[in-house]
Amino acid sequence: MPITEKSAYRLSVELKADDATVNVQVIERESGDVVESETFQARDIADSIKTNVALYGLSKLLQDRSSDTDSGPEKLDAMREVYAMLRGGQWEKERKAGAPVVSAEVEALATLKKITVAQAQAALRKYTKEQRDKILSNTAIVAKAKEIRAARENSDVSLDDLA
């Protein structure tokens, strides 16, 4: 049975570099009212573990910003790109124009179920991560996703007439 209940609350997290704080608000979904908030000061972290906290943050940035890449050498390459960007003083990655907005697996699911991509995404949100992983690893979906990836890579569509 899919899990469909959403929490009555959401979090808003703001990183403020100017005063080295993390500001967190608990917001009631329905009303939008702030129920509770807290400001966490980086300077209050004990000196003996500040490096560990910084390394943990770097580790999470590398993992989070390469999360769209499968594990293996490609994942490490993606992490290297993130690290190079951070070393260069760039906090946010520029968005790539024309990149697929939906995974090949979700597109495959939509195609096989004869529904729209939006319907497939909405349906998947009703399941836990483990359930979604099981659904998207179905052999028919995996095979169709492979076809979709190949078609994306081999697309020779010209837009010259619109330029």
Give me the percent of the chain exceeding a pLDDT of 90: 44
**Tell me: the pLDDT tens digits for 13-58?**
999 999 999 999 999 988 989 999 999 999 999 999 999 999 999 9
Average pLDDT, the chain: 87
What is the predicted pLDDT for the residue at 94?
56
Q: How confident is the model at residue 3 (pLDDT cuts 50, 70, 90)?
A: low
Residue 98 has pLDDT above 60, yes or no: no
Q: What is the pLDDT of residue 2?
A: 58
pLDDT at 97 over 70: no
Q: How far apart are CA 101 and CA 70, in angstroms?
A: 16
| Other residues' Cβ atoms within 10 Å of the Cβ of residue 118 | 11
**In the prediction, which pLDDT does 127 show?**
86
Q: Residues 141-154: what's their mean pLDDT?
A: 86
**Model pLDDT, residue 101:** 63
> Is the pLDDT higher at 112 or at 2?
112
What percent of the chain is helix, strand and coil (3-state, nearest 5)? Answer: 50, 15, 35
Neighbours of 106 (CB within 10 A): 22
8-12, 31-35, 149-153: range with lowest mean pLDDT:
149-153
Please state the domain extents for the chain.
10-44, 45-90, 104-154
pLDDT at 93: 67
**What is the per-residue pLDDT for 95?**
52
Contact 27, 8 (CB under 8 A): no
11 or 129: whose pLDDT is higher?
11
